[in-house]
């Protein structure tokens, strides 16, 4: 859209770190210019000029599966220039800070782009530990009448560590259950449990939804608006061993 | 001159205090005791004209700020009214001269506050109701490789309605856990402070009534009056679907 003030959209650790670095860069840059400049404006005025200079005309595009803002027109700098048109000396004093304000848009843009690979390295999407790092009060909820009145295996934590990514066959899962011949009351659910009381990796800012397969050997995880499937050799259910 | 200043500041302080007190009273005060039956009837008839209420069946408290009041109209319809303490007043959030089960989302941000309320005509002779939290089975494949599967959810809670033809069911803990996790996964990455729950189309509530001989009762078979209702502009109510037994999966 038009006048964009940068907010932190993602509260994951990777974004917070890169945004913090962006702020430090802007701070250093400003300080550097301030020191170099012979006529020094008041500090609080510098902050205002920075903020106004930050205002820009930008548009959103998707890069690396992330929405980023590309600033194009330095609207704030332009406004400041209009304001200081007749005040040449003062404009010379503030000009650089106004441009730092605009340039800050690019620093934030870079920080957003940098946060993506950092996030992926910190929280690999194909590792179960990203979604299931700690157990708080692990339990299962029966979502379907075909679920057994079972509970979690005592070796639950150990088995989870050995689970491997597996291929999803959602079409087969669906069509194996929903057929013309099979009456609704005979349909059994492949994922009749939900796993609760587990905590994702710290700082990942995700809230995964975890279904468990009827044999207790598979976990189907919904996160990042995608799904991930993990299997083990041993069942996570008590009754299946 | 000095005196005038003095006077002004005192006036100012009084003004600020009264405003604060008014705001507190309007938005944060503890509810007053609930209305008398006569007041209830008057309010309902003002809110829902045309089919005057005659008798309050019962006054059921949901929490400190919410009441559910089933009533009977002069012509014998079984109505329902939903009350909320708002702006220092007991207000009707919704009222109807019918009472099929509905989901009342007391706090839209917190499914543990949700409840199902109903009031049926006793001539329907319903003795049990099975309530369901459901989600349809579904799958999709995007770009040839990105699979998505959502399992069938069908969680049941049986309620006995032998004694009373009306009632409240607070959602079982497991239900609110399931709803909450589905909503959270859906709104992942969005600031959660103001997210209100909007059950996706796939998740819904259902009910199946049974008579004393465990046969499915058809609501409306004996009392086919459809009824109508007025709401006070709220999104806190959600339909509970009447389910056919053929739609249900089993063990």
- Residues 6 or more apart whose Cβ sits within 8 Å of residue B250: A145, A146, A185, A186
- Who among A168, A169, A190 is closest to B151 (CB)? A190
Same domain for A110 and A137, yes or no, is no
Same domain for A89 and A133, yes or no, is no
Query: Is B148 within 8 Å of A146 when comparing Cβ atoms?
Result: no
- The model's pTM is 0.85
Same domain for A74 and A146, yes or no, is no
Same domain for A116 and A165, yes or no, is no
Residue that terminates a domain, selected from A67, A92, A122: A122
Residue B195, pLDDT score: 58
Nearest CA-CA distance, residue A125 and chain B, Å: 14
Q: What is the mean pLDDT of residues A155-173?
A: 92
The domain spans of chain B are: 31-247
Residue that terminates a domain, selected from A63, A95, A122: A122
Residue A224, pLDDT score: 82
Residues of A whose CB is below 8 A from B249: 144-146, 184-189
Residue A4, pLDDT score: 38
φ/ψ of residue A223, rounded to 5: -160, 155
Q: What is the mean pLDDT of residues A52-74?
A: 82
| Percent share of chain A, pLDDT over 70 | 95
Q: What is the pLDDT of residues A78-111, one digit of tens each?
A: 999 999 988 888 888 899 999 999 999 999 999 9
> Quick one: tokens of B119?
């009031």
Residues of B whose CB is below 8 A from A171: 139, 141, 147
Question: What does each C-alpha distance from B210 to A127, B155, B207 come to in angstroms?
Answer: 48, 17, 10
Nearest CA-CA distance, residue A13 and chain B, Å: 13
Q: Check if the beta carbon of residue A205 is closer than 8 Å to that of residue B189.
A: yes
Residue B1, pLDDT score: 57
Query: Is A192 within 8 Å of B151 when comparing Cβ atoms?
Result: yes
Give yes or no for B176 touching A (CB within 8 A): no
Same domain for A134 and A114, yes or no, is no
φ/ψ of residue A65, rounded to 5: 60, 20
- Who among B140, B177, B182 is closest to A196 (CB)? B177
Q: What is the mean pLDDT of residues A11-17?
A: 89
Residue B12, pLDDT score: 92
Same domain for A42 and A151, yes or no, is no
Residue B190, pLDDT score: 63
Residue that terminates a domain, selected from A122, A139, A171: A122
Residue A189, pLDDT score: 93
Q: How confident is the model at residue A14 (pLDDT cuts 50, 70, 90)?
A: very high
Interface size A-B, in CB pairs within 8 Å, comes to 104
Same domain for A37 and A107, yes or no, is yes
Same domain for A104 and A18, yes or no, is yes
Domains: count for chain A: 2
φ/ψ of residue A134, rounded to 5: -135, 155
Residues of A whose CB is below 8 A from B152: 143-144, 177, 187, 189
Same domain for A13 and A116, yes or no, is yes
**DSSP label at residue B25:** I
| Domain range enclosing A7 | 2-122
Does pLDDT of A118 surpass 90? yes
Same domain for A203 and A179, yes or no, is yes
Q: Which of A165, A168, A229 is most worth mutating to test chain B (most B CB atoms within 10 A of its CB)?
A: A168
Residues of chain A in Cβ contact (below 8 Å) with chain B? 9-10, 141-146, 168-171, 173-174, 177-178, 183-192, 194, 196, 205-209, 211, 220, 222-227, 229
Q: Check if the beta carbon of residue B102 is closer than 8 Å to that of residue B238.
A: yes
Mean pLDDT by 10 residues, chain B (251 residues): 81 93 84 92 91 93 95 92 91 91 92 94 89 93 90 95 90 94 79 60 88 84 71 83 88 79
Same domain for A118 and A161, yes or no, is no
> Quick one: tokens of A118?
């950092």
Residue B201, pLDDT score: 62
Same domain for A18 and A115, yes or no, is yes
């Amino acid at each position: 859209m038009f006048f964009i003030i940068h907010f932190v959209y993602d509260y994951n650790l990777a974004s917070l770190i890169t945004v913090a670095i962006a702020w430090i860069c802007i701070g250093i840059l400003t300080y550097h210019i301030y020191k170099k400049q012979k006529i020094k404006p008041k500090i609080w005025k510098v902050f205002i000029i920075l903020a106004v200079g930050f205002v820009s005309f930008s548009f959103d595009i998707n890069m690396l599966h992330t929405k980023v803002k590309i600033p194009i027109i330095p609207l704030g700098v332009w406004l400041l220039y209009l304001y200081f048109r007749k005040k040449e000396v003062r404009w010379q004093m503030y000009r650089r800070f106004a441009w730092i304000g605009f340039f800050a848009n690019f620093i934030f843009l870079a920080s957003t782009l940098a946060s993506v690979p950092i996030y992926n390295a910190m929280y690999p999407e194909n590792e179960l530990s990203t979604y299931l790092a700690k157990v708080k009060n692990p339990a299962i909820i029966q979502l379907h009448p075909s679920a057994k009145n079972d509970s979690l295996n005592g070796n639950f934590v150990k088995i989870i560590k050995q689970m491997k990514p597996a291929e999803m066959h959602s079409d087969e899962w669906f069509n194996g259950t929903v057929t013309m011949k099979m009456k609704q009351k005979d349909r059994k659910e492949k994922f009749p449990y939900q796993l609760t009381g587990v905590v994702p990796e710290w700082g990942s800012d995700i809230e995964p939804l975890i279904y468990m397969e009827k044999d207790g050997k598979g976990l189907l995880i919904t996160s990042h608006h995608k799904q991930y499937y993990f299997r083990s050799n041993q069942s996570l259910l008590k009754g299946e061993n | 001159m000095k005196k005038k200043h003095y006077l002004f500041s005192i006036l100012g302080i009084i003004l600020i205090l009264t405003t604060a007190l008014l705001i507190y009273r309007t938005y944060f005060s503890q509810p007053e005791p609930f209305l008398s039956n006569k007041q209830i009837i008057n309010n309902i008839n003002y809110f829902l004209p045309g089919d005057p209420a005659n008798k309050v069946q019962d006054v059921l408290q949901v929490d400190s700020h919410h009441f559910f009041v089933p009533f009977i109209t002069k012509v014998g319809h079984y109505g329902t009214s939903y009350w909320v303490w708002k702006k220092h007043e007991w207000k009707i959030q919704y009222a109807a001269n019918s009472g099929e089960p509905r989901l009342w989302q007391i706090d839209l941000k917190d499914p543990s506050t949700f409840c199902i309320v109903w009031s049926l005509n006793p001539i329907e002779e319903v003795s049990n109701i099975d309530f369901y939290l459901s989600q349809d089975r579904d799958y999709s494949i995007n770009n040839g490789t990105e699979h998505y599967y959502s399992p069938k959810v069908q969680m049941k809670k049986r309620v006995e309605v032998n004694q009373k033809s009306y009632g409240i069911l607070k959602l079982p803990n497991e239900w609110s856990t399931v709803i909450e996790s589905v909503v959270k996964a859906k709104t992942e990455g969005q600031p959660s402070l103001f997210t209100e729950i909007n059950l996706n189309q796939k998740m819904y509530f259902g009910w199946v009534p049974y008579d004393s001989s465990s046969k499915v009762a058809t609501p409306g078979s004996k009392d086919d009056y459809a009824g109508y209702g007025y709401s006070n502009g709220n999104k806190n109510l959600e339909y509970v679907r009447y389910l056919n037994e053929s739609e249900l999966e089993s063990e």
